[in-house]
Amino acid sequence: MNDQTAYRADLRIEVGAIRHNVAVLADRARRSGARTMAVVKSDGYGHGALTVARAALESGAEWLGVASVTEALHLRRAGIEAPLLCWLYSHGEDLTPAVAAGVDVSASTVADLRRIEEAASSLGRPARVHLKIDTGLNRSGCPPEQWPDLVESAAKAQADGAVEVLAVWSHLACADEPGHPSVDMQADRFRRAYEQARQAGLRPMRHLANSAAVLTRPDLHFDLVRPGIAVYGLDPVPQAGDHGLRPAMTFRSSVVLTKRIAAGEGVSYGHSWRAEQPVTVALVPVGYADGVPRTLSGRFSVWLAGKRRPVVGRVCMDQLVVLCDDDAVAEGDEVVLFGPGDRSEPTAAEWADTLGTIHYEIVTGMYRPRVSRTVVETEAES
Ligand SMILES: *Cc1c(COP(=O)(O)O)cnc(C)c1O
């Protein structure tokens, strides 16, 4: 990259957008008396966990959440000292490193709790625990019939000084479908589980809300909210109105070659597209190995030289071809594959709609070995 603008395949991460989104979410939480945990699992949904963690903590989030112990330790080693919860372990995983690093750990079973207690006693310090009740997602979490056992055991472990029970928590299945009856059903089960924890003598916080619930269910904010996708500016409930979020990721490349091709010529493998008249095409050096799904072939466009232009023929491993008609497009010109949408460029949400998936899957899959990530404060600095 000798020329600053001529990226091969780059994810521009606009930190100002992340700060803005976290401020929006933390403000909503604060209005209902809740604090904010920014979820930065899966390398900050592909945006860079450390970058996002720092920006989030500067913008109103007081907690961080990740899935694995490895992710949590990565943040601790980089100097992040904020409260940090991790919630998913492999079978029998040793939780000593997490407890030693002051990472909060989730317990869904009495067996989890025992492992946490063992880690705590080997370290001579209490472990910070969040008890997870399964309220109907039927993934992780304690089944309601085992919950009384779990809270009794946790209360005893707390009395023994082995653990500090900080929270009771759960996760929603259908919060992105406002009005779905499961949301209230899960909330009812959650309140019941909390009451049982109190009856066992615990005085925990409660947290339930993901991004969709932060945006649409202030009554379910409880003490702490756990937004993920909205931190990155992607709205999980666009049908519920404009929430003023700003997408933080722009995927861009630049033209490496332009050429004229004659009428009747086929483009790319299989000649799935043919020129009907003489046209200019532009070669862009990104392909499916760089996160452009091959199944988008013939179904998407990019922003190039002032407007959207269709990608023609198949997306290859390393390259794709853009139809430029008779326009003057130059080698080195910026190509935006998706971005916030300001310049009418495609968005990650649009890719997701075309592909029949969700924008979560698009952004978390973008950072790959040949793709660079450039962190800028604002869009203007590109
Ligand atoms: C990923 C995740 C979140 C964040 O969900 P979003 O829909 O991205 O806001 C919250 N809590 C848990 C347990 C998660 O796994």
Report the alpha-carbon distance of residue 235 to residue 239 in Å, rounded: 9
Strand duo 266-267 + 273-274: pairing: antiparallel
Q: What is the number of the ligand 1 atom nearest to the C-alpha of 230?
A: 9
Report the alpha-carbon distance of residue 196 to residue 193 in Å, rounded: 5
Residue 154 confidence (pLDDT) above 90 = yes
Helix (H, G, I), strand (E, B) or coil at 326: coil
- What is the reported pLDDT for 92? 87
Q: What percent of the chain has pLDDT over 90?
A: 96
Provide residues with CB under 6 Å of ligand 1: 39, 41, 87, 171, 210-211, 226-230, 236
pLDDT digits (tens, 9 = 90+) for 171-181: 999 999 999 99
Residue 2 confidence (pLDDT) above 50 = no
Q: Of the residues 85, 220, 226, 237, which should be mutated to test ligand 1's pocket, given the most ligand atoms within 8 Å of the CB?
A: 226
Residue 382 confidence (pLDDT) above 70 = no
pLDDT digits (tens, 9 = 90+) for 319-351: 999 999 999 999 999 999 999 999 999 999 999
- Determine whether the annotation assigns residue 260 to a binding site: no
Residue 231 confidence (pLDDT) above 70 = yes
| Mean predicted lDDT score pLDDT of the chain | 96
Q: What is the CA radius of gyration of the chain?
A: 24
Mean pLDDT of 222-229: 98
pLDDT digits (tens, 9 = 90+) for 45-104: 999 999 999 999 999 999 999 999 999 999 999 999 999 999 999 998 999 999 999 999
Question: Could you write out the DSSP letters of every residue in 288-310?
Answer: GGGT--GGGTTS-EEEETTEEEE
pLDDT digits (tens, 9 = 90+) for 267-303: 999 999 999 999 999 999 999 999 999 999 999 999 9
Spell out the domains of the chain, with CATH numbers in brackets: 15-240 (3.20.20.10), 249-376 (2.40.37.10)
Q: What is the number of the ligand 1 atom nearest to the C-alpha of 226?
A: 10
217's torsion region: left (phi>0), alpha (psi -120 to 50) or beta? Answer: beta
pLDDT level of residue 242 (50, 70, 90 thresholds): very high
42 half-sphere exposure, CB direction, 13 A CA radius: 14
- What is the reported pLDDT for 1? 38
Contact 311, 302 (CB under 8 A): yes
223's torsion region: left (phi>0), alpha (psi -120 to 50) or beta? Answer: alpha
- What is the reported pLDDT for 379? 73
- What is the reported pLDDT for 4? 53
Catalytic: 232?
Answer: no
Q: What is the number of the ligand 1 atom nearest to the C-alpha of 175?
A: 7
Range in 32-41, 132-141, 261-270, 373-382 with the lowest mean pLDDT: 373-382
* Threshold 0.85, pTM exceeds: yes
Residue 6 confidence (pLDDT) above 90 = no
- Determine whether the annotation assigns residue 125 to a binding site: no
Catalytic: 269?
Answer: yes
